[in-house]
Amino acid sequence: MYLAVAARGFRRYASYRAATAAGVFTNTVFGLILVYTYLALWDERPDLGGYDQAQAVTYVWLGQCLFAALALQGGGVEFELMERIRTGEIAVDLYRPADLQLWWLASDLGRAAFQLLGRGVVPFLVGGLFFPTALPSRFDAWAWFAVALALAALVSFGIRYLVALSVFWLLDGTGVNQAMMICGVFFSGMVLPLNAFPGGFGDVARALPWAAQLQVPADVLMGETGVAGACAFQAMWAVVLLAAGRLVQSAATRRVVVQGG
């Protein structure tokens, strides 16, 4: 059943062809802007964050590849879930003979798979064709990257699911959405690699769950971290966030309150 839900999520987003094309164009343009910004920055600081220029360029294009797939700025199934909680349609979901969290996780993984293939691959290929990159040639590096990417998707969903469930109490998700967008972009490393953050602030940023979404997969791909420790870090946050989501879901669904009654 959950495979069918994931497939439905994939097909659903595949139907928005114009939006997908616009997303590919947007990610490519933003990638170009960031690449030239990074090149200028790395000219001044050649070893910033422990990366050389080729690694910095690779980091940029990987970020553009994963931006929509991991919903780093939001925009996954959590928006629909928030609206269903607000209107009370969540009651229909609770009556389904399926686990609420697994249902939405499956749907989000289907969405993520399409966004990766439909929106993320082209900008990544553009970057690889026109700029020097630091992509590995070994199969095992790509295999570990796939594992890190799957764990990143779980962490991403875990964060956004908790944010969505907050609407059971807040009844409106506008403010919490804005906070999620800011934290997602900044602490995932989309603006600047977290390895470049200084001192204790950098240590804290790299210990937060958002680091598991972009910084860790990037370091795994480029061989800048031990894969066992990196994947263990991601798995730890995935378990913590999904377990927290389970607990919050249990508390929230004991008494459903929606606007209007």
Phi, psi of 72 (to 5 degrees): -65, -25
The answer, yes or no, to whether residue 258 has pLDDT greater than 80, is: no
- Dump the DSSP string for 99-133: -HHHHHHHHHHHHHHHIIIIIIHHHHHHHHHHS--
Residue 217 forms part of a structural domain? yes
User: Cα–Cα distance between 59 and 193 in angstroms, integer?
Assistant: 8
10 Å CB burial of residue 150 (0-12, 13-18, 19+) is: middle
How would residue 59 be classed by pLDDT, with cut points 50, 70 and 90? very high
Residue 258 forms part of a structural domain? no
- Provide mean pLDDT across the span 90-108: 90
The answer, yes or no, to whether residue 104 has pLDDT greater than 90, is: yes
How would residue 261 be classed by pLDDT, with cut points 50, 70 and 90? very low
Residue 261 forms part of a structural domain? no
Residues 6 or more apart whose CB falls under 8 angstroms from that of 192 comprise 49
Residue 221 forms part of a structural domain? yes
Q: Please give the residue that has the higher pLDDT: either 260 or 195.
A: 195
Residue 260 forms part of a structural domain? no
Residue 64 forms part of a structural domain? yes
How would residue 93 be classed by pLDDT, with cut points 50, 70 and 90? confident
Average pLDDT, the chain: 91
Least confident of 91-95, 116-120, 126-130, 248-252: 91-95
Residue 257 forms part of a structural domain? no
The answer, yes or no, to whether residue 231 has pLDDT greater than 90, is: yes
pLDDT at 255: 61
Residue 15 forms part of a structural domain? yes
| Per-residue pLDDT reduced to its tens digit, 123-177 | 999 998 999 999 998 999 999 999 999 999 999 999 999 999 999 888 888 888 8
- Provide mean pLDDT across the span 100-115: 94
Domain count for the chain, please give it: 1
Dihedral sign (CA 7, 141, 235, 153): negative
Q: Considering the entire predicted model, what is its pTM? A: 0.93
Least confident of 20-24, 89-93, 99-103: 89-93
Q: Which domain holds residue 248?
A: 2-252
The answer, yes or no, to whether residue 201 has pLDDT greater than 90, is: yes
Structure letter (DSSP) for residue 226: -
The answer, yes or no, to whether residue 25 has pLDDT greater than 70, is: yes
pLDDT at 114: 95
